[in-house]
Amino acid sequence: NAGVTQTPKFRVLKTGQSMTLLCAQDMNHEYMYWYRQDPGMGLRLIHYSVGEGTTAKGEVPDGYNVSRLKKQNFLLGLESAAPSQTSVYFCASRGGTLNTEAFFGQGTRLTVV
């Protein structure tokens, strides 16, 4: 029973490099989310998806792109990493409209130097 799986768990990037974070869920959930967590800032929503093929912007979308080509996967891309994107990234998923509990992955710790 894997739940929500994020890869990688840790990554160090140089400024200007690109990377993709992968989130996979095996619960057939409709909704998926990408958050970042910074000290003293709580969770901030980057992008989210309410179904396969759909994406929407959250509170802090700049510098990130996402794709939801398959229902079980939600990818977060950084095209040109900046030190301000150093953070811990969490993916979450939630069932349909009647299932409002969110399930979180273990997080990806990203450092941009």
Partner 1 sequence: GNSVTQMEGPVTLSEEAFLTINCTYTATGYPSLFWYVQYPGEGLQLLLKATKADDKGSNKGFEATYRKETTSFHLEKGSVQVSDSAVYFCALSEVNAGKSTFGDGTTLTVKP
If one asks whether residue 22 binds partner 1 (CB under 8 A), the answer comes out as no
CA distances, 110 to each of 11, 34, 51, 56 (Å): 5, 14, 26, 23
Nearest to 31 by CA among 78, 90, 74: 74
Applying CB under 8 A, which of residues 1, 2, 69, 98 lies at the interface with partner 1?
98
Q: Which helix (H) or strand (E) holds 103?
A: strand 102-104
Told to check if 45 binds partner 1 by CB under 8 A, we report: yes
Site string for partner 1, 54-93 (x = CB under 8 A): --x-x-------------------------------x-x-
Task: Write down the least CB distance from residue 58 to partner 1, Å.
Answer: 7
Q: Given the complex with partner 1, which of 14 and 62 has the nearer CB atom? A: 62
Decide: is 47 part of the binding site for partner 1 (CB under 8 A).
no
Measured CA to CA, the distance from residue 36 to residue 91 in angstroms comes to 9
Residues at the contact surface with partner 1, assessed by CB under 8 A: 4, 31, 33, 40-43, 45, 48, 50, 56, 58, 90, 92, 94, 97-98, 100-107
